[in-house]
Amino acid sequence: MVKVLKKDQIESFLSKLKENYELYGPKKKGFEVEWAKLDGSLLFDFKNSSLSPKSFFFPQTECMMHFKNDPNDPEGMIMKPEPELDSKRILFNIRPCDAKAFSLLDKVFMKDEASLDVYWKDKRDKTILIGLGCNNPSPTCFCLSVGCGPFSEEGLDVLAVDLGDRVLFKGITERGKEIISSLDDAEESDIKNAEELKKNAESKITRKVELDNILSKEILEVYEIPLWDRIHETCLNCGACTFYCPTCHCFDIQDEVQGDYGRRVRNWDTCMSWLFTQHASGHNPRGTKKDRVRQRFMHKFKYIPFRLNGEIGCVGCGRCIVRCPVNIDVRDVVNQMNQQLK
């Protein structure tokens, strides 16, 4: 199903959807782009949002359960579940790389029945993703090398393409098709036009990373390349790369109490922190900066592919490249990994 909408009709399209959904989209704030509730218009000319929209499904701080902090109360000290999300949401103009990241994370958060993260699932189920193809990828984008692309459809319900004065909407999932069903059918020329834009965008992504050796070699071989002795040297072990990354999903769980109210919350955590793996005994299986930096790259480019049939744990959005305070460039790291495994 391929539909089209004139840009001057977007506002009315959105206001109709607003009756049943909360609508979100990217919004400019200086040179940065953040996610915000939509106020009627949609942003089309933007690089990707500064932070990934992962917090829509995996908030940085999230209450998981609560309890009455009173041992004398018959219901005290027993954890109670939190209410589910009480709205349905649509994220407009999410970039295809971010949607692909969430599709990857589905395999982490919803591995099987015993490991079904209900918090993730609840929000994923209630959120429709309308992607926007990237007509002008950034110089730090390398999605094509990691199984994604500027017009990738994986994880999206609808893919939109900015045709200038009109927007093309391609329905991907059933619920996506339903959202756009009332729009006009796209003309043959619109579809052709979108195809052209896609080809054009892909040709603009010139930076590549090579992964073949990393994927084919044994885990310990990749683990023991000399690169690890150097690449960590200037790393600060801050969590910027992991917090900006759309596929990083590590978290910590903490209990908090206030009077007779108590709760269990989870917060984003980062493999860059020494605390992350520190045993109470003082032993730390990833006690050095080298161990921690290696873990991040091994996880994305070896461990996840190992588990998920070759699927790479990075979508090539390039956020970590521009946010790293010491310019540890994932593209260089991966290429050097691959090179050293020749």
Partner 1 sequence: MLKEYTEQIREVAKRLLKDKVVDCVIGYRKGTVPMLDAPYIAYTEEEADNLIWSSFCVSNLAKFLIGRKGKSAIVAQGCISRSIVNLINENQVKRENVYIIGVWSPGMVDRRKVLEKFYDKEILEVEEDGDELIVKGKDFEGKEFEERISKNEVKRDNCFTCMHRNAVIYDEFVGEKGEETGGGNIDNVAAPWEKLSFDERWEAFRETFGSCIRCYACRNVCPLCYCSVCFVDESKPQWCGKTQDEADIFTFHILRAFHCAGRCVDCGACESACPMGIKVRRLTSKLEKDVRELYGYVPGLEIGAKPPLAVYRPDDPENFITP
Partner 2 sequence: MRNPYLPYPVRIKRIEVATEDKSLRTFELEFLNQEDAKRFNYLPGQFAELSIPGYGEIPIGIASSPTEGDTLLFTVFRIGVVTTKLHNMQEGDIMGVRGPLGHPYPLKEIEGKNIVIIAGGYAVTTLRATMVWLLHPENRPKYGKITFIYGARTPGLLLYPDQWREWQKRDDVDCYITVDREFPGWDGLVGFVPTITEKVAPSPENSVAIICGPPIMIKFTQPVLDKLGWKGEQIIMSLENRMKCGIGICGRCNVGPYYVCKDGPVFTKAQLDKLPKEY
Partner 3 sequence: MYARRRFALLKSLLEYVGIESDRIHFTWISSAEAGKFQEKAKEIVEKVRKLGPAKKLVKDIRPKN
Report the interface residues with partner 1, using CB under 8 A. 28, 30-32, 45, 47, 51, 60-61, 136, 138-140, 233-234, 236-240, 242-244, 252, 254, 256, 265, 267, 270, 273, 275, 321-329, 331-332
The listed partner (partner 1, partner 3, partner 2, none) that binds 45, CB under 5 to 8 Å by sort, is: partner 1
Residues in the chain: 342
- Measured over the CA atoms of residue 120, residue 138, residue 6 and residue 173, the dihedral's sign is negative
Q: Which stretch binds partner 2 (CB under 8 A): 18-26, 176-184, 187-195, 264-272?
A: 264-272
The listed partner (partner 3, partner 1, partner 2, none) that binds 47, CB under 5 to 8 Å by sort, is: partner 1
The H or E element containing residue 34 is strand 32-37
Cβ-contact 56, 91 below 8 angstroms: yes
Cβ-contact 249, 108 below 8 angstroms: yes
Cβ-contact 57, 101 below 8 angstroms: no
The listed partner (partner 2, partner 1, partner 3, none) that binds 220, CB under 5 to 8 Å by sort, is: partner 2
Distance CA 129, CA 89 (A): 9
Q: Please identify, using beta-carbon distances, which residue of 81 and 226 lies nearer to partner 3.
A: 81
Of 162, 118, 214, 147, give the one whose Cα is nearest residue 6: 162
Q: Does 302 contact partner 2 by CB under 8 A?
A: yes
What is the CB neighbour count within 10 angstroms for residue 245?
Answer: 25
The listed partner (partner 1, partner 2, partner 3, none) that binds 327, CB under 5 to 8 Å by sort, is: partner 1
Q: Which stretch binds partner 2 (CB under 8 A): 3-11, 14-22, 190-198, 285-293?
A: 285-293
The H or E element containing residue 26 is strand 22-29
Q: Does 262 contact partner 2 by CB under 8 A?
A: yes
Q: Which of residues 237-296 bind partner 3 (CB under 8 A)?
A: 256, 258-259, 261, 263
- Give the chain's end-to-end CA distance (angstroms, integer): 45
Q: Please identify, using beta-carbon distances, which residue of 47 and 296 lies nearer to partner 1.
A: 47
The listed partner (partner 3, partner 2, partner 1, none) that binds 258, CB under 5 to 8 Å by sort, is: partner 3
Q: Applying CB under 8 A, which of residues 45, 165, 279, 309 lies at the interface with partner 2?
A: 279
In a 10 Å sphere around its CB, with 0-12 CB exposed, 13-18 middle and 19+ buried, how is residue 101 labelled? Answer: buried
Amino acid at 313: G
Instruction: Give the CA angle between residues 153, 25, 145 to the nearest 5°.
Output: 35
Cβ-contact 272, 237 below 8 angstroms: yes
Q: Please identify, using beta-carbon distances, which residue of 78 and 326 lies nearer to partner 2.
A: 78
Q: Least separation, in Å, of the C-beta of 270 and partner 1?
A: 8
Distance CA 172, CA 175 (A): 8
Contact footprint for partner 2 (CB under 8 A): 64-65, 67, 69, 71, 76-79, 81, 108-109, 111, 114-118, 121, 218-220, 223, 249-257, 262, 264, 266, 269, 271, 276-281, 285-286, 291, 295, 298-299, 302-304, 306-307
Binding residues for partner 3, rule: CB under 8 A, are 66, 256, 258-259, 261, 263
